[in-house]
Chain A
Amino acid sequence: MTELKTVQGVTVALLSGELDHHTARLMRCEIDREITEKRPRRLVIDFSGVTFMDSSGIGLIMGRYKLMNERGGSVTVARPPVYIKKVLRLAGVDRLAPISDTLDDLLPAEDYAKEAERIEQTSGQTN
């Protein structure tokens, strides 16, 4: 599942559930639609609700990096659980997209408090 929110040029994509070749297709489509419509300068992919990820997740990050890079924007990978970090590290994802353990400083200042709270609530529900 993908929950998208764009505030002041920052798109947060909150992914939840298992990320494999089967589920990546829809997640990719939904993120790309948001990016194409809202044209953010930064895409934050929030992995806090992802319970499983294989190389399809790496493909998804690489593809979004390419898309954002073409538009002069950046991608940040946020809050990956330990088992996902292992795959990210193996793939050397941090060379393309920095990995952050929190959402602090990633969201626009004014909306940050409100947004963090909302995301906190949503990830609580979907787990």
Chain B
Amino acid sequence: MSRQAVRPINEMSVSFPALSENERFARLAVSGFLSQLDPNIAELSDIKTAVSEAVTNAIVHGYRETKGEVSMQVRIFGGGRITIKIQDKGCGMEDIEKAMTPLYTSSPEEERAGLGFTIMATFMERVRVKSRPGKGTTVLLERTVQGKQRL
């Protein structure tokens, strides 16, 4: 729809190999880029947690802890609106709705709680997931950042 017509004020993209060491890097890259919006501590903590969930999922589920590339794009729009896209070209999902059900996990033996998507949905305003078995998964996180001065 008209969404494409709205141009971001600023944006950044990074991609990195699917290594668990990069989960921390992804959080830091996002919070570094968003520092221009002067987010408050609670907002930053929420965003970092949601990013960590999506990136970890790409690494542990998408690529099943094997080689692969994770890409991430962060966009800033007017009014403090942000979008964060996290993409993998891993195994994908058959049933997105089932995957997003709270407490559902395909790997309970690895001590997973099945709460990643629930955390993303709670800490961001909108979560959209596109996935195709054998092709990969794209997670789009959206929310508004109020920033410190606007509190």
Contact = CB atoms under 8 A, between A and B. Distances in A.
A62 B21 CA distance: 23
Interface string B46-72: 001100110010011000000000000
B115 A90 contact: yes
B113 A91 contact: yes
A21 B56 contact: yes
A54 interface: yes
Main secondary structure of the interface of B (DSSP, over half): helix
Nearest to B22: A22
A63 interface: yes
Interface residues of A, number: 20
B111 A90 contact: no
B89 interface: no
Given A52-B27, A55-B115, A59-B111, A21 B45 contact: no
Contacts, number: 59
A106 interface: no
Contacts of A60: 111
Interface residues of B, number: 24
B43 to A, nearest CB: 11
Contacts of A20: 20, 23-24, 52, 56
Given A52-B45, A60-B111, 14 more contacts: A21-B59, A21-B60, A22-B23, A22-B24, A28-B111, A52-B52, A54-B49, A54-B119, A59-B111, A59-B112, A62-B113, A83-B41, A87-B49, A91-B113
26 contacts: A20-B23, A20-B24, A20-B52, A21-B23, A21-B56, A21-B59, A22-B20, A28-B111, A52-B27, A52-B48, A52-B52, A55-B56, A55-B113, A55-B119, A56-B56, A59-B110, A59-B111, A59-B112, A62-B111, A62-B113, A86-B45, A87-B49, A90-B119, A90-B122, A91-B113, A91-B115
